[in-house]
Structure 1
Amino acid sequence: MGQQEKVATSLAGAVSEEISASLAPVDAQLERLYPGDPGTRQPVHTVYVPGDAFAADTIRSWGDRALAALDEHAPDAASFAAVLGLADELAEPVYARVRAKLEREPVEDLRVDFEDGYGPRPDAEEDATAARAARLIAEAYENGTAAPYMGIRMKCMEAAVRDRGIRTLDVFLTGLIEAGGLPEGLVLTLPKVTYPEQVGAFVRLLEAFEKVHGLDAGRLGFEIQIETSQSILATDGTATVARMIQAAEGRATGLHYGTFDYSACLGVSAAYQASDHPAADHAKAVMQVAAAGTGVRVCDGSTNVLPVGPTAKVHDAWRLHYGLTRRALSRAYYQGWDMHPGHIPTRYAAVFAFYREGFEQAAGRLARYAGHVGGDVMDEPATAKALSGYLLRGLDCGALDIAEVARLTGLTRLDLEGFAAPRRGDLTASAQ
């Protein structure tokens, strides 16, 4: 043992107490506004189906059509890998997992659309369609055929369609209540939001429904769809989307980028409206920064290039979709839209390849961090959080198995969740 050091201080304890008291409001605000990621599963995609097209077999039909597309245009791992440029070592595991996913859980998140994909209809027709959607979704959760997440996209809160959107939501939610209650995987999407006041009005609407049915306050959350330039930048130069998150009063679960409405709003020509356009990158970067730490997740948009027609055309569309999905994943947009059954093979191929190709390195780094073993990279708690989050997302979607993760990390899922959601103080103290 070396010489014991003499520890001396100059400040009285009252100084620290005074500073803590002065910062107490800030501490409370940090906890309220930036609670961190909720730690729940985030679906890798959202599938939008027009209200009149939604049926009891929609999810299974999408899976079967996706499998048929593989059978016709990429019947084995080698041909699929050649189309997408997958590394040899990934070809078999990715292809096998894609097919298994399409058979087991082809859709992770489904939204029955009553907005652009449905359009204006007679009131009686939309009422009946909304009631039917509620019945079918309730039945799907009851018989085990539901996607992990399901819900509707209503019409927006603008004056021309506001009453219709409110009524459709009321019919749908009331139908679910009467069918046995709100499912855990229920998700609502509010489109074309321009002002924070529209978000606040939607909160009041949900509060009223909860009160009528005796639901817990805050039971109903919703996604905010970003489709206008004003939702990113207000006239005073502030980031409107940040104010929207605050206006949601803790109910916002996601920010969904609307590729084509947003692009058109900025005057982007139809041929160049895509999720990798500079205008899209700017919007999503603002969304990402505004949502960071709030528990609100960012979702990328979609491509309107459909994988249909002759094989060469399907392959071109697959390469485009795969590339856009991989690009989004590298930018931490872990969810996107899929508009056609032919898109989901490449959605899962991109997601699975993303997690499998980085799996061993991430697992090794986290294992060394957890075991306090040195290596060629010095990781901190924030990086351990990112590494464990990466592995958890890979597990949730089926890209990884818990046995292989445990083998390389020596950690359980509970351990991973602990690293993925450290307390704020743990991150701050260890970084000093």
Structure 2
Amino acid sequence: MSGWQPIHTVYVPADRFTAATVTTWGQEALDLLHKHLPSADELASVFDVPLDLARDVHPRVVAKLTDEPIEDVRIDFEDGYGNRPGQEDGHVAAAVAAVQALHDAGALPRRWGLRVKSFADDEERSERTLRLFLESFESLPPGFTVTFPKVLEESYVPRFSSLLGSLGSELTFELQVEDPRTLPFLRPGLDPRLAAAHFGVFDYTASLGLPPHEQRLDHPACDHARNLMQTAFSTTSVELSDGSLAASPASDAASDVHALWVRHARLVRHSLSNGFYQGWDMHPSHLVSRFATVYAFHLTTYSSYRERVDAWEAQSQVAGVMDEPATIKTLAAALRRADSALGSR
């Protein structure tokens, strides 16, 4: 990976992914914002932030949705796509054409890739789709990765890594933690190609027998799994990402759109406060609440963190604060993360 971590990953079923996907998502999100969140006043009310902060956040969200609505995208050949044995090859070809068109237009997200089928479901299909896709490019655009879902056995990891190695020496992958059986073999050095671990909330909670209304990112069982992921990879460069909210506005009425944003923002804040700075977005409406929440999160503490780091470097002290070296290291990392999230290309 490049060292830059995206704020989010957008998952689009392969049969719906086209060269217009990025533009369409951005425009739909902008339309929702202009209609239901036209000013800082509404943003302050819906997202429960101070008006001064909302005045900073609102134009940033507008600019982001205009300039780069999607930072990372996965063309999904797994759960979002389903089993289509007679159609998948054709959708692979269409996806290749769409990616190439986006790249040629300078509109391909900075990170992008596929989610293939799990080895637990159809190893042969997983390999075929990946091979067909990669071998269709004369030159693979930068930023590519592949998501490997439902890693139920440790043996899947070296097998998938070996497959990637046969297709390109620099290829990396991210595994999904979607089952308790994955947690015991997460550790530093699991595989040199492993670049990220993404949490899959719905399969994970279903595997525990949780009822549907409890299959949510802020359930204590999910907090436990994410903490084990953090512990396993704390000494590595493996990126961590949270999962998704499988919901969209019930209608175009302001009350329904606002309700969705409030619900999604609460989950994003929960992820951020627990050290997961990336998550999945499944609908254009999620882009508004994602960026608004992430920007507010970083801006709320930016000045105070900067003051404390500067004071430490000047060998002075902020009134009422006694920072330890470990805290300063964490503050500096938070500032770098904020700069990345709030900045531009």
TM interval, short-chain normalised: over 0.9
- Identify the residue that residue 238 of structure 2 maps to in structure 1: 296
Question: Given the alignment, which residue of 164, 167, 171 partners 1:206?
Answer: 164
State yes or no: 1:347 paired with 2:290.
Answer: yes
Question: Given the alignment, which residue of 231, 241, 256 partners 2:182?
Answer: 231
Normalization by structure 2: what TM-score? 0.95
Amino acid at match of 1:288: Q
Alignment of 1:65-76 (within 5 A): 65-76=28-39
Question: Given the alignment, which residue of 303, 307, 329 partners 1:385?
Answer: 329
Contact 1:196 1:247 in 2 (8 A): no
- Identify the residue that residue 95 of structure 2 maps to in structure 1: 133
State yes or no: 1:317 paired with 2:260.
Answer: yes
Contact 2:205 2:221 in 1 (8 A): yes
Question: Given the alignment, which residue of 179, 184, 192 partners 2:150?
Answer: 192
Uncovered stretches (5+) of structure 1, i.e. residues with no partner: 1-37, 211-216, 233-238, 403-432
Amino acid at match of 1:324: L
Amino acid at match of 1:305: A
Post-superposition Cα deviations, 1:257-285, rounded to whole Å, max 9, x if no partner, equal 10111111100111110000111111111
SS in 2 for 1:46: strand
SS in 1 for 2:9: strand
Q: Within 2, Cα distance between the matches of 1:264 and 1:307?
A: 24
- Identify the residue that residue 82 of structure 2 maps to in structure 1: 119
Q: Within 1, Cα distance between the matches of 2:93 and 2:172?
A: 20
Amino acid at match of 1:383: T
State yes or no: 1:143 paired with 2:88.
Answer: no
SS in 2 for 1:135: helix
Q: Within 1, Cα distance between the matches of 2:4 and 2:310?
A: 23
Question: Given the alignment, which residue of 92, 100, 122 partners 1:161?
Answer: 122
Deviation at 1:74, TM superposition (A): 1.7
- Identify the residue that residue 241 of structure 1 maps to in structure 2: 186
Q: Within 1, Cα distance between the matches of 2:11 and 2:285?
A: 14
State yes or no: 1:221 paired with 2:186.
Answer: no
Contact 1:197 1:247 in 2 (8 A): no
Question: Given the alignment, which residue of 58, 63, 67 partners 1:95?
Answer: 58
Uncovered stretches (5+) of structure 2, i.e. residues with no partner: none
- Identify the residue that residue 262 of structure 1 maps to in structure 2: 204
Question: Given the alignment, which residue of 197, 202, 215 partners 1:273?
Answer: 215
- Identify the residue that residue 394 of structure 1 maps to in structure 2: 338
Post-superposition Cα deviations, 1:344-368, rounded to whole Å, max 9, x if no partner, equal 1010011000110101011111111
Q: Within 2, Cα distance between the matches of 1:327 and 1:296?
A: 21
Amino acid at match of 1:392: R
Amino acid at match of 2:124: D
Deviation at 1:81, TM superposition (A): 1.5
- Identify the residue that residue 249 of structure 2 maps to in structure 1: 307
Contact 2:269 2:297 in 1 (8 A): yes
Shift in alpha-carbon separation, 1:153–1:341, aligned structure 2, 3 A:
same
Q: How many residues align?
A: 343
SS in 2 for 1:247: coil
Q: Within 1, Cα distance between the matches of 2:186 and 2:269?
A: 25
Contact 1:190 1:222 in 2 (8 A): yes
Normalization by structure 1: what TM-score? 0.76
Q: Percent identity?
A: 39
Contact 2:307 2:318 in 1 (8 A): no
Deviation at 1:163, TM superposition (A): 0.3
Deviation at 1:380, TM superposition (A): 4.4
Deviation at 1:371, TM superposition (A): 2.4
Q: Which stretch has the larger CA shift, 262-271 or 70-79?
A: 70-79
Amino acid at match of 1:326: R
Contact 2:116 2:130 in 1 (8 A): yes
Contact 1:137 1:150 in 2 (8 A): no
